[in-house]
Amino acid sequence: AVLSKKYDPDDKSEEGVIVQKRQESVRKAVVATNFMWGTAGTMAGLTWWSFRRYNYQARLVALPFIFYGGTFVGRMVGDMVTGRNAEFGRDRFLGSLPAKVYYTSSA
């Protein structure tokens, strides 16, 4: 829902700048997540291929550890590719906020 909304790029009000920065931060997080899973899958596939001369038990022992490590490597790669590592802390915080929050009166 956050990424489907279109905001006026010429809107320079405080609210407009905040929603645009939030939307950009969410977009970067989504693209970086794709890099995370892609890198983890690639590392697992390369491990499977490099163990081609061993039996399947050796492959199955190494595969989950390499895949798990690949998620960390992929997260770093995705952050660098999307520029998320150079993002301000305020923008990252805005991107981590929930999409909808409903307030009730606490009487």
> Degrees (nearest 5) of the Cα angle 29, 84, 15?
75
| Three-state DSSP state, 52 | coil
For the segment 7-32, the average pLDDT, to the nearest whole number, is 89
pTM of the model as a whole:
0.77
Residue-wise pLDDT tens digits, 39-88: 999 999 999 999 989 998 999 999 999 999 999 999 999 999 999 899 89
For the segment 4-22, the average pLDDT, to the nearest whole number, is 87
Q: What CA–CA distance (Å, rounded) separates 7 from 43?
A: 38
Q: What CA–CA distance (Å, rounded) separates 81 from 76?
A: 9
104 pLDDT tier (thresholds 50, 70, 90): confident
